[in-house]
Structure 1
C-alpha cells in the first residue's frame, strides 16, 4: 500500500504541475463555464480529471473512477460507488470558485474506496505544495509527518459553518449558535483545505450541508485517522454511497459533541 500511496501523491503533483498551476490566473473568458447557477467549472478541472483518472486506472487496472466532472456529464457514474471492487473518487480542483477568481485556497483530492468503505485519501494544496494522506487503520500524515489531534475540548473553539445551503430554519439556528463560538471563521470555500486545517490544528471544526463524495470522502478519512470525528448532524456515520445532507467534522469526539450542542441543539 505504501507504494500506491506514493504513486497517487506523485500523480496529483503531476496534475498540479502540468495542468492546474499553469492555468491559474491564466484562464480566458471561454475557459470558465457555469455548470449550475453559482457553480463554475474550468477547462483545468476537466483536463486535470482526465489526467488523474487515466493515471489511477493505470495504477489499479481493475478499478473505476467517480470524478466530479464525470458525474456532472453523466450522473449515472455516481452509481459506481456501490461497486464491490476498487473505486477512485476524484475532485480535480476543490475550490474551483477560488481558482477561477485567481486566488486560493484550492486543492486536488482523491480517495480509494472498496466495498463502499474509504481505505485511502490524498489532499494536495498546489499553491503550498502540501500533501496530506491517510490510510484506513494506519493514520494520517501531512508532508510525511504523522498527525495526532489532541483530545482536549476545553480550549476556546475556532471553526466555521458553511451555511449558504442550509435550510432556512436550520440556518437561523446555526447562526444563533455561532454567537457562542469563541472565533468564527469565514469559511474557505474549499472543503479539502478545511479538513487539512482541522488536522493541523488551525481550526477545531467545520460544518457542511452538501456532502458530495468528492468533496468529503478524502477529508473525512484524513480527520478520522488523525483522531477526529466526522459524522452526520444526527450523529450517524457518513456513508458516501447513501444520499443525505449535513456533516460536522471536529478535532475530537468531545469537541464534536460540544459544537453539536452549541450549533444544533
Structure 2
C-alpha cells in the first residue's frame, strides 16, 4: 500500500514546489512504500535512529515516533531501540529522544495498565510478575504466577496483546509434555506445519514431547493459560527461533 503524504505541499508547495514534490511523491510515495523491500515498521526504526544520531529531536522526530507507533513499534521496543542507539549516537541525544518518546507512548502505557487490570478481573488466578527469566524467549511482555510447584508444576502464564513465545519443543526421556488450560482472553496455539488454533477460556491443548510449537495472545487481547507440566524423566525445553511478524500476522488473518 502506497504511503500518502501531503506535508511538503501543505507547508512548502508555493515556496518550493519541487522540494514538496520530492518529499511527498518520492520520499514517501516511492521509498517508504517499498514494503516488498523493507517493512514500514523497519523503515520507522531506521528513520528514528538516524534522526536521533543527528540530534534532530524536533517536530519531525515526533512525527516519526508517532508513525513508528502506528507501524507497530511498542513502548518496550522503542525503549530498547533508543537505549541501544545511545551507545553509538550519544547519551544526551538519547535523553532528548526519550523525553519525546515517553509522551508519544504515554497513552499506550495507560492502556496497558487499564487492560491488565481488566484482564485480572476476568480470572481467579493472579497475573503474577514479569516473566524476566524467560524474556529472551518471548516477543512482547509476559507474566508468570506459580499456582503449584509440588507434585505437578502448574503456572499461570499471561501474555499482553501481541505477545507470544518462541517456537519450542518439550523433550523428555520418558513421559513429559505439557497441557495448556485457557483461563482468560483470546490467544493462539500452532504446531509446526499445521494451521494455528484460536484459544478461548475453557479450551485445553495437549502438547506431546517432540512437537515444535508456539502459543501466545491475539493482537487485540490479553491472554492467560495454565501451563501444566506433564511428569516425565529428564524433562527439558528446547527454545528455537522467534515467531516473526509475518507468521504471526498470517495467523491473526486466518482467524479473523
What is the TM-score of this pair, normalised by structure 2? 0.26
What is the TM-score of this pair, normalised by structure 1? 0.25
Which entry has the higher C-alpha Rg, 1 or 2? 2
